[in-house]
């Protein structure tokens, strides 16, 4: 399965200029050493295909063990990590302190939790709990000059995307990209890196 994921990654890298993320098996999320070993194996498979590790982000769950694995991978092996399954501020701070390359906080999944577990079933984009969470993380990183990149992920609607315009990176589904492309609305940066606001 690892080889198949790497081969898919290699094909994607033929058509994009940046990096591709390849995920460590989620069953290893609470095993630091196994996560490190799996990440190193994935990088080795990429290198066997002629892909330098700088074009790869190893995707790890933002558990305590996952964050500690990422710290070792970044510091000892210069392997860049993308921390996923990130739902709160404490996880984001731990990732920044560990010096990870990138985090992918889940905007839509945070919203989903609030819709399922509170009396409020609808949120305006600026009041969206996922948007508020990512904004807080982004502002904190900029205020304290962390180098970790914030890539908002798991969007449910274009309102969330517009409220996070200016974030370091956003990963947007084709459906929502098309909706943005079909819109006449001007999108201006909402988050400003210089001020963290």
| Annotation says 175 is catalytic | no
Give the integer Cα–Cα distance in Å for 96 and 87: 14
**102-105 vs 149-152, strand pairing mode:** parallel
Q: Who's near 102: CB < 8 A, 6+ residues apart?
A: 57, 80, 81, 82, 83, 148, 149, 150, 151, 169
Q: Do residues 138 and 167 make contact, with C-beta atoms less than 8 angstroms apart?
A: yes
Name the catalytic one among 32, 53, 59, 142.
59
Q: Distance (Å, rounded) from C-alpha 50 to C-alpha 118? A: 50
Give me 160's structure tokens: 């969330």
Closest residue by Cα to residue 100 from 130, 155, 63: 63
Residue 115 has a CB neighbour count (10 Å cut-off) of 14
Active site residues: 59
């Amino acid at each position: 399965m690892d080889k198949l994921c790497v081969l898919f990654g290699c094909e994607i890298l033929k058509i994009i200029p940046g990096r591709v993320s390849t995920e460590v098996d989620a069953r290893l999320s609470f095993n630091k050493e196994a996560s490190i070993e799996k990440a190193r194996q994935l990088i080795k498979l990429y290198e066997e295909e002629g892909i330098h590790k700088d074009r790869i982000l190893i995707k790890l769950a933002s558990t305590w063990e996952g964050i500690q694995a990422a710290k070792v991978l970044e510091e000892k092996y210069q392997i860049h990590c993308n921390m996923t399954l990130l739902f709160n501020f404490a996880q984001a701070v731990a990732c920044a302190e560990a010096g990870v390359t990138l985090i992918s906080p889940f905007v839509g999944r945070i919203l989903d939790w609030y819709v399922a577990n509170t009396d409020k079933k609808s949120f305006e984009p600026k009041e969206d709990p996922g948007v508020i969470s990512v904004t807080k993380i982004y502002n904190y990183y900029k205020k304290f000059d962390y180098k970790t990149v914030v890539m908002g992920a798991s969007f449910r609607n274009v309102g969330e995307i517009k409220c996070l315009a200016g974030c370091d990176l956003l990963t947007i589904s084709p459906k929502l990209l098309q909706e943005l492309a079909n819109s006449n609305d001007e999108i201006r940066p909402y988050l400003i890196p210089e001020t963290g606001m």
